[in-house]
Structure 1
Amino acid sequence: MSTSLHNFMRQTVENLPHCKKLGLRFEGLSQGQGCMFLQPRAELVCNKEKNLLHSAIVTTLLDTLCGTVASSVYPEGRTVATLDLRLDHLRSIKGDQTLYGRAECFHFNEDVAYVRSWAWQGDESHKIATATGTFKTNGTFQLQLDGESS
């Protein structure tokens, strides 16, 4: 995957309305793998007494990350749609710790990419959620560089 395509994908995803609202950011993205994170913010805490984030936040992080990784596995980059996402919540999400997600594509063909991912806070070996997703390709990105199509 070219650096231009990597930067385009990263910028496009980080500027999606739901990603901007939550503050989802990439820590890394390369062909077939990636890592995202979300910094703690008081307005994302749904249970103030126990200081917990809503489980939908980790679902959004992992679905977004898996979709981006599925797109990145194709050298030219492709748009994808989530066909299936199996997510297991293993423990609560603390509202005062950075939330991380990592994903890797373990198989793909011309039409579908298969991705596994996990989320954690603190120590990566103590997962708070795991997910496996199937993503259908829709077509190539129309990359815009300096006002020109390529």
Structure 2
Amino acid sequence: MNVSLSVFKFMRHTVENLPHCKKLGLKFTQLDEGVGAMQLDPKPEFIGNTAQNFMHSAIVTTLLDTLCGTVASSAYSEGRTVATLDLRLDHLDRLHGDRTLYAKAECFHHNDDVAYVRGWAWQDSEDKMVAKATGTFMASGTFKLQKEDM
């Protein structure tokens, strides 16, 4: 399966410019066929517990859902749009409000209708996860590239 670089470029651009992704500052550090990585730099508005300087758990949920969905899309040779059917997220440790949040995801299986993805997030060291996710994504239409995106 060969996904063209223009599809990956289009996916990255589209996702990073979704209003909520842009507001949060989500950025891809990798996007390839069925795998991807993102990072999110800390912001004061992410703090859910000001007394202990902990980031709100919704931040890592958004990061992993967005990354896992994009990775599911990238697993298809033509790049398909997907919708989250199910996302299980385990919060494993607190999120420090002054540290960058990193995440990786991989599609471990897909068929014509559904893609299955696992993802994980960390702050200081990848071997000390702060959250892990398993998601199921329904695939539908292909991305429609604009001439200027190709």
* TM-score with structure 2 setting the length: 0.96
Percent of aligned pairs with the same amino acid: 65
Q: Quote the Cα distance in structure 2 between the aligned partners of 1:138 and 1:4.
A: 19
- Which residues of structure 2 form unaligned runs of 5+? none
Read off the aligned partner of 2:47 and give its amino acid letter: V
Task: Report the CA distance between 1:146 and its aligned residue.
Answer: 2.1
- One-letter amino acid of the counterpart of residue 76, structure 1: E
What SS class does the counterpart of residue 146 from structure 1 fall into?
Answer: helix
Residue by residue, what CA displacement relative to the aligned partner does 1:119-147 show, whole Å, maximum 9, x if unpaired? 00010000000000000011100011228
Secondary structure of the residue aligned to 2:127 is coil
* Counterpart position of 1:21: 23
Unaligned runs of 5+ in 1: none
C-alpha distance in structure 2 between counterparts of 1:146 and 1:113, whole Å: 29
Aligned-partner residue type, residue 34 of structure 1: G
What pairs with 1:33-72 in structure 2 (closer than 5 Å)? 33-72=35-74
**What is the CA distance between 1:45 and its match in structure 2?**
1.2
Letter in 1 for 2:89: L
Shift of the alpha carbon at 1:21?
1.1
Map Cα deviations across residues 49-85 of structure 1 (whole Å, 9 max, x no partner): 1111110110000000000000000010000000000
Write the letter of the residue equivalent to 1:22: L
Matches within 5 A, 1:88-107: 88-107=90-109
2:6 aligned partner: 4
CA distance in 2, matches of 1:19, 1:110: 28
Aligned partners of 1:86 and 1:48: how far apart in 2? Answer: 27
Q: Which runs of 4+ in 1 moved over 6 A?
A: none
